[in-house]
Structure 1
Amino acid sequence: MKAINSNYIKRMLLSYLPILLVTVSMLIFIFISIINEINVRNAIQANQLTAAFVKNMVDSTLKGISFDAQKMIETSGELQLYLDGPTDRAREFDVSNMLSGLMVRYGLIDSIYLYRAKDGRVLDQSASRPIGQFPDRGYLRSSVERILTGVWSSPRVKENEVRTVSTLVHVTSLGLKIPRDSGSLGYLVINIKVSSLELLISQMIDRNVTQAQLFDTQGQPFFDGNGLAPSNNSLNAETVSDYTGWTYRMSIKGGRLLDLLFHGSTVWVTLALGAIVFAFGSTFYVTRRNYKPIEAILHRIDRFASVVKTAGPKENKNEFAFIDQAIERLITNNMVFQEKQQENLVIRRQQFLQTLLKGEFEDDRATWQQEWQHFGLEAGHFIVALLELDHYVQFGLKYSPNDQSLFKFIISSVAVESAEQQGRRIIAEWISKNQLVLLLLSDEGESLEHHLLQLSEQVRSWVEKHLEFTVTIGIGSAAHRESDIGRSFEDAAAAVSCKVTLGVNQIIDAVELQERQGGEWFDYLEMIRTIVRKLRMSESGWPGELLRLFHEMRVRHLRKDDVERLLHYLVFQLDYEMAETLPDEAKAWLQDAKPAMLLALGQSDTLEQLERCFLIALEGLADHVRALVQNQRHHGLLSEIRSYVEGHYRDPNLSLTMLSDRFEINAKYLSQLFKESFGQNFIDFLMSLRMEHAKQLLRESEVSVQDISEMVGYVNTTSFIRAFKKFVGLSPGQYREAQSKEGVRSIH
């Protein structure tokens, strides 16, 4: 079957592969061609920019020469004197140097000469001679007769004479009349070598890529134009100078190939469409040919499906859907079967392990032997370790059920793999939500504890390093008979329960704990009663007693059950004392301290956690008790002080200082207590007593204001009047008069 499938796949691949290769190759070629076309367009644009740049640079240079020459003619007094004045050899020399300076300033200039009209002599850089002896006399005579000057000429041949040797040079010339309008004084001619212009342009372009040519106004080339593309070539870039009228043409080397790429868009589009048509046609043909065997199979399936569908409603006429449904049902049934088998195996293993740990196998020995052989437990020596997750409450709150199951699977897998690496056999099963049993089996009875300790430490360290929580592992005693496995498990459970005093994330060996002493219960109960009594009496020594209680439990390595029993007794004693003897503190105890302590008992794994939680809860309760006791003492003291003030407010010497000395209490603290208890400070309280008594005397007696001020505790009458007006809003006299009028109105 595999060979048939393999041959069919190869045939399908070999059928479609050529189509794919041809289509992809054509598309890649077209893509590359399009990229080349874009590059050619960019090159043409760059060529146009280069032509414009060359034109601007050459025109700028020629304009500079023309401008400086014109400036020299118009501003140079020596030149004017030379042309119009008497002949002077020194002046001749100065003018010749002036012309040479212009040549030095512009390296393009080949030669400059000056024609003097009055005597027909020509001055250049070497000598002054008659025009008849000057080598370039033909061009000079024709230029003098021209009406329009100041324009650069087309390329011409100029004869140079150096040491009686004549040479011909191609130049372009500029002629300037002196003066500009008539030329009556003379004529200035500036010659530039065509080769110098060509060199200037060559420095501005890349000769390996670009060719440059310069044409005059009649279309005659300046340079040798071998290999230059024709003017109608679309790849050329031409620009005409507004200054000289010359035409600058830039051509790209290899122009024929680039022109083909530039004008080949239609070809590429045609090839692309052809490639697409070829791909569609070939795919259709190959698919049709390869579908024939599948079509035959589908005909057979259709005949079978029609027979099946006659018995029921016609829900689906798609033969592929029928096949898909059948395969899906097969896969689903197989998965359900596998899951049930796995679940049955897990449940069977867990039941067997529970029976093994409880030692209940003797009731059905035949079944026991069958299970024993099924799980491969023929070894005669055993030892049990119990792994427990630390801080399981926080573990359950932090991770979802799926994550918890994943972590548990990881831990059990690590334990099994670690045992296999050591050449050991173990059974690892979770017997509760936070406990994993590790049963080590061995054919040898020696070093069982050592091997299990080594394996447990490897598992514990791996969990600490790779996961975000820790585990504590208790090691039981070695069992050399099947009936002793339950005892080994009990020892491991007892060992792991001691983590409450020994701490989490460690290995606890039951053998090391066999000699421990649990301590006298009377001592613990006496410490608990002392803590409760001192806390109830608001004494300061209860924290030390609480810390001593936890220290004793830690030193004597009490098991978790014993620790919880003692701390529950502490909660019971506090509950009784607070509810029965101190009803006012019962609310703080029942709402805050007691729930916090019970929550700590349910969630804490170590004595350190319990100690910290209990200490915080009881400190809050002690603060509340202390505050209530102080309030009760202050209430009695303030009642006594108030009675004293109400009886002695007439005393002018009554003040906070006097009360502080009399009742032995700080004056500032007394003022604060007055404000908290009576809602006003001492001064306002004393003033209200004095003013109410003064108002009564003013209403009911004829005693003078001075006498009333003394009777209510004021030595200075003015101070009394000011205080009365501030308190009542009227002076004592106005108040008495107002009360008298009110009394008369009430009589009438």
Structure 2
Amino acid sequence: MRMNWYYRTILSYAPILFVIISSMIFMIFLALNNASERKYLETNQAILDRIVFNADANLMLIERNVVSKLLMDGEIQDYFTKGSKDALDDFLLQKKMIELSLALPFANTIYIYNEAEQRIISDLGSYSLNAFGDADFLTASYGNKESAGWFNPRSFAYLPREEEEQPVVSLMKFAFTGNDMRGALVVNVYQRSFLEYLNSLSESDYNRVRLIDAATDKSPDSEPAMSPIQVQSDYTGWTYVSEGVHDQGYNWLSLFSNAWMVIWVVLILLALLGFTIVTHIHYKPIQSIMEKVSQFSYRKSEELGIKGANNEFTFIEMALDHLLKRSLDYENLHKEDSLLRQQRLFHDLLAGHLVLSDEEFQQQLAEFNLSVPYDRLGVMVAELDRYAWFTDKYKVKDQYLLKFIIESAFRDLGHSHHSFVWHAWMEPHRIAFVVHHTASEPRSNLAAAEFAEEFKKWIHQHLELTISIGIGADSKSIETIADSYRNAQENVELKTLFGIHSIIDNRKSAAIINLDRYAYLQALDYAAQSFRMNDTEWREKLSQIFNELGKMRFRKRDMAEFAQAFLKRMDKAVLALSSSIQERWKGDFQERFAGMTETAESLGEFQEQFMSLMNQFEACVEEDRQARRHHSLAMQAKHYIDAHYTDPGLSLVQVSDYLNLQPSALSLIFKEEMGEKFVDYVLKVRMQHAKQLLLETEDSIQSVAENIGYQNVNSFYRAFKKFQDIPPGEYRNMYRTI
């Protein structure tokens, strides 16, 4: 009787105990899953908040620069108030537009609108309002003071019906004289450049930031199971969306996990009810209950992928092991989040997005268990040489491995000199290192150049790659660390002049003068025109340009601007050549000129590739010209003009008689082969020599006119003003003072 009571007690409460323990285990699984999901969302939300903050800061910087130019720049104010304007005014204003465009942080195009003249001057030229591709946007937005600010994403093109429209976000600021609106200045930031910058801040290949304008507020085309993370900017009103590549799979897994938990809760309740009824109504031996528990545990063991579970204790043990594994996973997730916040802190400090005092910085380091004192901070920027080759040779996982080796090598070098080191990848090919120096530890005060030289040698000896290092001025406080980083970044960009695998500090860079873009742009115009006219001076002119660039701060990004500027000028020059040469230029040479900046690391390599391509194209042009039967006649006429431009009787009839041709036939041949009319070329040759005499001699205007073939000074006066837009005397006074 007593044994029956004992068995009944076992049968009644053992299943209930089992159900309670199982319920607790599954509830813990559910809690851990929910906590992990919340942490995932909170982390992505924090990252997106920081990205939006950085985006707004850069957009505010653009707006501040534009407003400053409108209010403070005298030449821009004169554009709206000054009456008649000449070509020089347009050129100076276009120069201002280019300077402002280059000073902004994103790739952009900029133009200014004069309401009174209905004219637009951009960084690429001058347009009337009706002939401008952005006229619809300008007309719709101009005059509404509430429209001044940032506009939603849209399409932009310089010319109407232009096929290659670019998505941009636009900033419009109006120009006032008193209370009168005179015009507007519009900055179009290319949306692709803007989004590339935002996505570079996330430092993740799995999350992409997308922009939704304030007007549409549309969701993505294909919504994931969970709504994407969104942050709306208080400054622009735009909504930024962070969409993970694996979000949908993660959400499906979460839904499956939640459904699984619900099913188990229902099963537990049903099991509890069934066990209670069975044990109190239908008595069965304890062995029968144990067999059922064994079968259940065996079935669950197979579901968990663990074999050999043959009793309820083994099942409970496996469940606890699984619980511990989930706990470790959560701990690892927390550590990864801590590393991400640490890297974001270092990146923001160096980029200037965050400014902390030394006390605040020490508090931040203490939170990461990295509290290290310092008396000064040394900043170095290491750049991987030939990064295009690096990405082609190594797979993505191998690239990350090599970058980790570079980080570890520098950190170990710092430890060997008793210096604490931290780093941040500012760009995919560029990493910044910061070294803590303390006066109390003499071994930590190694000179920055020696530190960099030792690190560079280690990389070259142990890895199949090289690096160039820029050294910035030391910082006495964390508050000025961004200035030191920018100094080091500017120095490492000068590897185009010093060559790859070099170390560049302020002593080396001090002798380099700033780049004068406008000087080489004018020289490029001359080189392109000389090439079109089959004048060999283009080669000498390009060599002079490269020699001058070798003395200036010519960086890798300037190579692309140089190539694009030259391509635009060569496109115009090639239009004057035969159709076959135009096809060869577009099909064989345009892309090669644009793409060589990806492979050239130094100015010497860039010059070698550039001149090689030009020589190849010259050979094609020469071959085509020699095949044309009229080319030699046109060249004889050109040489005759060059030799007899001082002859007052020089005319089309005179040259035709010299070549035994009809004047009309010579006129057609000259225009076809040289790309300009006979009289226009004669005028250009004479005016070029006139300008030289005006600037280099003290001869009177009458004497200058006679020396270039004009017997009547009034005729020379009219011709010079028509050619140069100003009289010869004013030209001499203006450019001699410059």
The interval holding the TM-score normalised by the smaller chain is: 0.3 to 0.5
In our comparison, the structure showing a higher alpha carbon Rg is: 1
For normalisation by structure 2, the TM-score amounts to 0.41
